Amino acid sequence: MASAVIDRSMVEQIVRQVALEYLHKSQNGKAPVLTVQTSSRHMHICREDMDVLFGPGSELTFDRPLFQEGNFAAREMVTVVGPRNRLISNLRILGPMRNASQVELAFTDAIMLGINDIPIRLSGDIADTPGAIIIGPKGVVELKQGVIRAAIHVHMNPTEAAYFGVSQGDRMKLRIGGEAGLTFNNVHVRIDPASRLNVHLDTDEANACGLHLTKDIELYK
């Protein structure tokens, strides 16, 4: 078994070497630049709910681009009402539209709404999650499910994945230095050719570690 392990680590080393060389060529000798960003609470919306909340055939209005290409913050906002009639207003919608609506909250937001057991999920994985009432300027939608706390995750392309030696679904560690520093142990790896290296965490996570106070950040396997 020992030789199999050596073989595998050698292969990984070679893959990493190739990836490194590629990165050196493509980025003038620099390792991939890690960007860590905080996602505030937001909503993703489907065509059907857009019609109800903002009127038939309405489209999202581009406000500003997000780091991942093609994604953007829209001008449109909604109010979300939780199980005990508590609400959060001015919940921003992120585009483009998706197949299913989804509300992403930090733990503190969820507690504020009265959802104390909000499940931690990767975006899009919304089976058996809590719902909420969504109020828009033109109508109201009852979301049967889709309220989640987004799992901390890292977007990367296959070259960057080879550099780190990770595969889709792996978990990595993110160490944040500084006075309030801490290490996140379950950073989900999401690989897509169109992605740029980028960690997404929520406002609770960012505030807990004082993300804005430090540049000492390290992502590793």
Examine residue 200 and tell whether it contacts Zn ion (CB under 5 A). yes
Nearer residue to Zn ion within complex by CB, 49 or 200 = 200
41 binds Zn ion (CB under 5 A): no
Q: How far is the CB of 3 from Zn ion (least distance, A)?
A: 39
Candidate segments 14-22, 24-32, 175-183, 192-200, binder of Zn ion by CB under 5 A: 192-200
Smallest gap from residue 72 Cβ to Zn ion (A) = 14
Decide: residue 66, CB within 10 A, 0-12 exposed, 13-18 middle, 19+ buried.
middle
Considering the complex, state which of residue 43 and residue 141 has its C-beta at the smaller distance from Zn ion.
43
Report CA-CA distances (Å) from 8 to 3, 99, 161, 204: 9, 39, 16, 38
For residue 96, say if its preceding peptide bond is cis, omega within 30 degrees of 0.
Answer: yes
- CA 19, CA 23: separation in Å to the nearest integer? 6
Cα 17 to Cα 75: distance, rounded to the nearest angstrom: 44
Would you say 99 and 146 are in contact if contact means Cβ atoms under 8 Å apart? no
Of 5-13, 107-115, 141-149, 200-208, the segment contacting Zn ion by CB under 5 A is 200-208
**To the nearest whole angstrom, how small is the minimum distance from the Cβ of residue 44 to Zn ion?**
11
Distance between CA atoms of 89 and 133, rounded to whole angstroms?
Answer: 12
Quote the tokens at residue 153: 């995750």
Radius of gyration of the chain (CA): 20
- Asked if 44 is part of the footprint of Zn ion (rule: CB under 5 A), the reply reads no
- Give the binding range for Zn ion (CB under 5 A) out of 2-10, 51-59, 94-102, 193-201: 193-201
Measured from the CB atom, the residue of 53 and 151 that comes closer to Zn ion is 151
Which residue's structure tokens are 């950073």?
Answer: 187
Nearer to Zn ion, 81 or 147 (CB): 147
**Shortest distance, position 39 Cβ to Zn ion, whole Å:** 7
Amino acid at 76: E
* Binding track, positions 150-169, relative to Zn ion; x by CB under 5 A: --------------------
Count of positions on this chain that bind Zn ion (CB under 5 A): 1
Shortest distance, position 173 Cβ to Zn ion, whole Å? 17
Q: Which of 25, 17, 81, 15 is closest to 53 using CA atoms?
A: 81
Site residues for Zn ion per CB under 5 A:
200
